[in-house]
Amino acid sequence: MKLALLISICILIPFKILTKKNFEPHEFELNNGLKVIVLENKRAPVIAQMLWYDFGSGVEEKGKSGLAHFMEHLMFKGTRKFPENTYSNFISRIGGTENAFTSYDYTAYYQVFPKSQIKKIMEMEADRMTNLILTKKNVEIEKKVILEERFQRIESDPSSQLDESMKSILFPNHYYGRPIIGWKHEIEQLSYEDVIKFYKENYIPNNATLILSGDIDLPTAKVYAKRFFGRIKKGDKNKQIQTINPDFKSSVFVELFHPTVKQQIWKKLYRVNSYKSSIKKGIALDIGLKILASGSASLLYEKLVNEEKKFSAIGGYFQGLAKGSGFVYFYAIPANNIGLKKIDEIINVEISRILKKGIDIKRFEIEKKKYLFDSIYEMDGILNPAQIIGESIHSGLKVNELIRWNEILEDISIQDIEKELNKFHKNKNYVLGVLDS
């Protein structure tokens, strides 16, 4: 299973642009509250099914971090009708693929398979929504697997440890500050009873969206969705308490020293508004940061790496798909071992110089066109459209906003880009970190 750690962006597909030509969703809702979205694409006799649950680690009680991700693992343990690995073995036998992932705001399960197997796949997916069979033994076994996963992903990786610490400081009053996989000491204390309670409270049809993409039409989707999911009873949906992080009044610096670190790494994590706050401002910031810090052709890389050779690498990106705040992640590897504040000063001075000079109009036009062209590639295929729409609507956006994405992009000017970059540069809600030996 995949774990959606927002800082290391293990699985997140970059959110791009959706057009009416390649994006024509049809929606309906069952009586039990299950939402269904159909994206018809008949280029090949293949279907991608994604079941998105409208919760991630954000619904966990304090002191029980990691439950959502733990439950994701356990959803593969089987039901009475389809015991143990029956579901996974069937998918493998028909030449399909499957996986799952947990984020802060959602949990998702997907399968890609031949069109002819749609009934069986939907039947098995619906069955495990409500009929999962768990024992204390397989819960304890899976707990060890997750603890080992945490060790491999975080505890044996100093860079991930630093990210985890910085994230907890940046979001002191929000679940974005907790690791999705959970804190080690809290995972160790999770019980069979905790798991069962979480499953019964959250795995309900009115907490989910089924997305079917590929060679399936709307009438067929309605028939099978009603047949297999329509019998499941609606549950009481948990209400998440909305919290707001306070603005920082002082600078925060985090240093992590580890003997295995061979090269000093500087990081800076900003808390910013997400697409949910404003799609137009989010796109403008995203394009602006691509010009400023994305890849070897970016302005910061050209100046500080290629020309002045003060760094061997530098980069940054915007993650704006979130129900709460988004974030901007910056990193740099200095050519020589220098202090945390000195690195920050060098980068800040260069950003100030770039913004004072202004963004070149040709560079802006190229990046804007690239942003559009990339979307065509991202929306190609069977699984990608389902992934993009699912991730977006479970991060607080609406389908009609996605359809209008190109219109919003077209309206963005170079002045919009510069405005958002200047606003970002003045942002004091950040944490500085350095990894050293």
Q: What is the pLDDT of residue 372?
A: 85
β-partners of residue 50 are 110, 211
The CATH superfamily of 2-228 is: Metalloenzyme, LuxS/M16 peptidase-like (3.30.830.10)
Q: What is the pLDDT of residue 430?
A: 97
Question: At residue 209, what is the residue type?
Answer: T
- Residues recognised as catalytic: 72
Q: Which helix (H) or strand (E) holds 345?
A: helix 340-357
Share of the chain above pLDDT 70, in %: 95
DSSP state of 22: T
CA distances from 159 to 8, 346, 436 (A): 10, 22, 10
Kindly report, residue by residue over 58-108, the tens digit of the pLDDT: 999 999 999 999 999 999 999 999 999 999 999 999 999 999 999 999 999
Q: What is the pLDDT of residue 412?
A: 95
Average pLDDT for runs of 10 along the chain of length 437? 40 41 81 97 95 96 96 97 97 97 97 98 98 96 97 95 97 95 97 97 97 97 98 87 83 91 93 96 97 96 97 96 95 89 94 96 94 78 92 92 87 96 96 93
Q: What is the pLDDT of residue 337?
A: 80
Specify the residue for token string 């500085």. 432
Distance CA 355, CA 347 (A): 12
What phi, psi does 87 have (nearest 5°)? -60, -55
Distance CA 30, CA 231 (A): 10
Q: From the CB of residue 148, how many other CB atoms can be counted at a distance below 10 Å?
A: 11
Q: What is the pLDDT of residue 302?
A: 97
Q: Closest Cα to residue 269, out of 327, 325, 317?
A: 327
Give the three-state DSSP class for 36.
strand
Q: From the CB of residue 320, how many other CB atoms can be counted at a distance below 10 Å?
A: 24
Q: What is the pLDDT of residue 220?
A: 97
Q: What is the pLDDT of residue 64?
A: 96
Tokens linked to 272: 């910013």
CA distances from 280 to 88, 171, 272, 399 (A): 41, 24, 14, 16
Q: Closest Cα to residue 208, out of 133, 108, 118, 110?
A: 108
Q: What is the pLDDT of residue 11?
A: 34
β-partners of residue 253 are 432
**Residue ranges covered by each domain of the chain:** 2-228, 253-436
CB 372 within 8 A of CB 366: no
Kindly report, residue by residue over 377-388, the tens digit of the pLDDT: 777 789 999 999
pTM of the model: 0.91
Distance CA 423, CA 426 (A): 5
- Give the burial string for 93-117 (b: 16+ CB within 10 Å, else e): eeebebebbbbbbbbbbbbbbbeeb
Q: Closest Cα to residue 394, out of 73, 109, 168, 182?
A: 109
Q: What is the pLDDT of residue 354?
A: 97
The architecture in CATH of the region 253-436 reads: 2-Layer Sandwich (3.30)
Q: What is the pLDDT of residue 23?
A: 62
Q: Do domains 2-228 and 253-436 have the same CATH topology?
A: yes
Specify the residue for token string 């991700």. 69
Q: What is the pLDDT of residue 104?
A: 96
What phi, psi does 132 have (nearest 5°)? -60, 135
